[in-house]
A and B are shown apart, each in its own frame.
Chain A
């Protein structure tokens, strides 16, 4: 039977997809924390450093220009110390034709003994010009009355300066743009996020727009300087130059690494599909056997009910129920099971009717077997293989329904799913920005998963359904 299954190309392809997806799911379950959704995915703070809405790294191979990679460098101790001055020096090499999307300067665990230290940031460009980006950091809380030295700051939350949004940096950079001969005002720079263009660019024209800059390739030396008491120190200094490409799958509007969200979607999709299909098939199987074997009023009642449930326009009801019961994964599963068992019942019943009239059932009855015994030992076994095939067929339906609900914003907010990624993409301008990397992969994964199960069902059906075998 197994050999017969693998002989069909559909079965082979379907099984290959499903095995691959299951392996990925196992990998994800083993490596991701269970509260990944709440702790990381839905926590914008965690994704602060990541570039926002950029395509995947491999996009570089398909475009005629080069996009800059993401750059993160951590320094735990200063590069130079002289008396009361400490310096951290970062070398960043720019070799792309397009500009980085932002600069973030971060530090944590600042300890000082006397006055608030002066922390500044400047960059030396390949053309020899020097731009001071920050004269001093105004965001350090001074010693509180009654607090004794050493004063420790930014332990839990690091100090984080996003230069494109920092008034001081914008002022400095605007002045530098004027030096370069580009007529910019601070509001131009702030509103069009021109900071990276000015820092990393050379001017082509006087207009203050992104197009009038060309990247200045070469090595940029960023220097963080702290002037204060000789004992003052910083635990960690980080410089982030946000790239214009990121990771295997790009990022979304919050800077979330889509590769992670998509990976987490694998086990969730298989879990929801599997559990819903299993429960719905069990209910459908039980009711179908009862209905077919007992007959009479019971049969009539169950079949009428199943007929209605099978034909009602389900999506409006699904939406309503999930909305009313609450957007948790178990409610979604429950509702999908309630609206999913009827088809199986109808098919199983028709199979039971033909088995019921066969001679071995008659013989068992004559031998005095109870109805329960006959249903369990004589009716169930021949029905089981086909019920299994029906279960496989029900899985993609459940996965697609969950995706539909998620797309309407009715998914479980604590668990990222492919449908939810699509919903967020749709609601946050993925279409308007032509962010194809945000829309195509989740949808294609949903489709490929569904196709995998459908193919397996196609290969399975002629094997388990004796009537189809003859054809």
Chain B
């Protein structure tokens, strides 16, 4: 038991080191390339310009004006942290992030106009969960169920179909599938016959329906295309991975032995094959869910879905440094928490790890 605790602690420490490492890497990239300074300077120039214009209406004397502007510039530079070099400024940012103080964005705002990054995330996260998490859960559950079935029917026709699908899913980008679906099912019917079968993007209609039931149906209508795209692309690979895991386990000697003993096939399948197949399947599921928080950045853009992925993209194009840092931190944190949950789960579902 003591060794188990030690293993878990070692894992936890490594994961935290990874987290800090990623943030430091980020700080060096932003700092050493001069990007951080450039962004802050352009913000400063804009602020000072605005202040000067405001002030010039009240103060007519150019020297007094110049002095006041100079003072304001110095004050703003200190507030933005521009008076210190990046290797002092950015580590402070990291330190704050580590204690989950995400800070404030420079330009991006949440839908109710807040500049707090935690508000931004609270605003966007549910949307991402609605889109990607439901997509992954739905696809993976169907895929895993299918994989379990064909894993014990290797070489059948459905097995071959799934193998081809899995190869296709490696080569098929989700965002392109989304584009094709929008083209064929949203704009195609609209342009050719003037009927709107599916919406081309967005999360709800504008304006959104008032009634809760109508709202939910509207949301489902908007979800249909992204979910279909995600199903087409990921179903094959889920089924194929599960099939391989199940197949490998069913080749093991203890399975043959159970069969030789004359145990009914149902018992062999659920007790002898399914149980040891569970940890790797679980790993896949939990890691995909963790990844899904960072969203399908491109897919959200294609479907104009206001989630975490499009937030990250907006932060990068708007050069909103604190948001970039905070989101990268949150994505990495989620991944690391997921990895740790997995380590604990392995111990629970796999007695071999518990005992060794």
Interface positions of A (Cβ within 8 A of B)? 304, 308, 311-313, 315-317, 319-321, 323-325, 396, 400, 403-404, 407-409, 422, 426, 431-434, 436, 439-440, 443, 446-447, 450-451, 454-455, 458
Docked-complex contact A403 and B173, CB < 8 angstroms = yes
Known pairs A319-B313, A431-B187, A431-B200; A324 contacts B29 (CB<8 A): yes
Q: Which of B18, B302, B316, B339 meets A320, CB within 8 Å?
A: B316
Docked-complex contact B29 and A407, CB < 8 angstroms = no
Docked-complex contact A404 and B191, CB < 8 angstroms = no
At the interface, yes or no: B335 with Cβ under 8 Å from chain A? yes
Chain A contacts of B331 at CB under 8 A?
313, 316
In the assembled complex, the CB of B17 is this many whole angstroms from the nearest CB of chain A, namely: 9
Q: Which of B167, B317, B332 meets A313, CB within 8 Å?
A: B332
Chain B contacts of A324 at CB under 8 A?
29-30, 33, 35
Known pairs A320-B29, A408-B298, A408-B301; A447 contacts B316 (CB<8 A): no
Q: Which one of A304, A313, A434 has the highest number of Cβ atoms from chain B below 10 Å of its Cβ?
A: A313
In the assembled complex, the CB of A25 is this many whole angstroms from the nearest CB of chain B, namely: 19
- Which of these binds chain A: B66-74, B118-126, B128-136, B177-185? B177-185
Docked-complex contact A431 and B173, CB < 8 angstroms = no
- Residue interface bits B291-331, CB-to-A below 8 A is 1, else 0: 10010011001100000000011001100000010011001
Query: How far is it, in angstroms, between the C-alpha of A313 and the C-alpha of B336 when the chains are bound?
Result: 11
In the assembled complex, the CB of A63 is this many whole angstroms from the nearest CB of chain B, namely: 11
Docked-complex contact B187 and A316, CB < 8 angstroms = no
At the interface, yes or no: B26 with Cβ under 8 Å from chain A? yes
Interface size class, chain B: 35 or more
Main secondary structure of the interface of A (DSSP, over half): helix
Which chain B residue has the least Cβ–Cβ distance from A471?
Answer: B251
The 3 A-B residue pairs with the shortest CB-CB distance in the complex, in nearest-first order = A450-B171, A434-B191, A443-B176
Docked-complex contact B26 and A407, CB < 8 angstroms = no
In the assembled complex, the CB of B83 is this many whole angstroms from the nearest CB of chain A, namely: 23
Docked-complex contact A431 and B179, CB < 8 angstroms = yes
Q: List 9 A-B contacts (CB under 8 A).
A: A311-B335, A315-B298, A316-B327, A324-B35, A431-B179, A434-B188, A434-B192, A436-B183, A446-B176
Docked-complex contact A308 and B18, CB < 8 angstroms = yes
At the interface, yes or no: B14 with Cβ under 8 Å from chain A? yes
Docked-complex contact B29 and A434, CB < 8 angstroms = no
At the interface, yes or no: B172 with Cβ under 8 Å from chain A? yes
Q: Which of A407, A422, A432, A458 meets B187, CB within 8 Å?
A: A432
In the assembled complex, the CB of B316 is this many whole angstroms from the nearest CB of chain A, namely: 5
- Residue interface bits B6-44, CB-to-A below 8 A is 1, else 0: 000000001000100110001001100101000000000
At the interface, yes or no: B215 with Cβ under 8 Å from chain A? no
Which chain A residue has the least Cβ–Cβ distance from B18?
Answer: A308
Query: How far is it, in angstroms, between the C-alpha of A432 and the C-alpha of B190 when the chains are bound?
Result: 9
At the interface, yes or no: B287 with Cβ under 8 Å from chain A? yes
Docked-complex contact B291 and A313, CB < 8 angstroms = yes
Docked-complex contact A439 and B327, CB < 8 angstroms = no
Which chain A residue has the least Cβ–Cβ distance from B34?
Answer: A324
Docked-complex contact A447 and B328, CB < 8 angstroms = no
In the assembled complex, the CB of B259 is this many whole angstroms from the nearest CB of chain A, namely: 19
Which chain B residue has the least Cβ–Cβ distance from A438?
Answer: B183
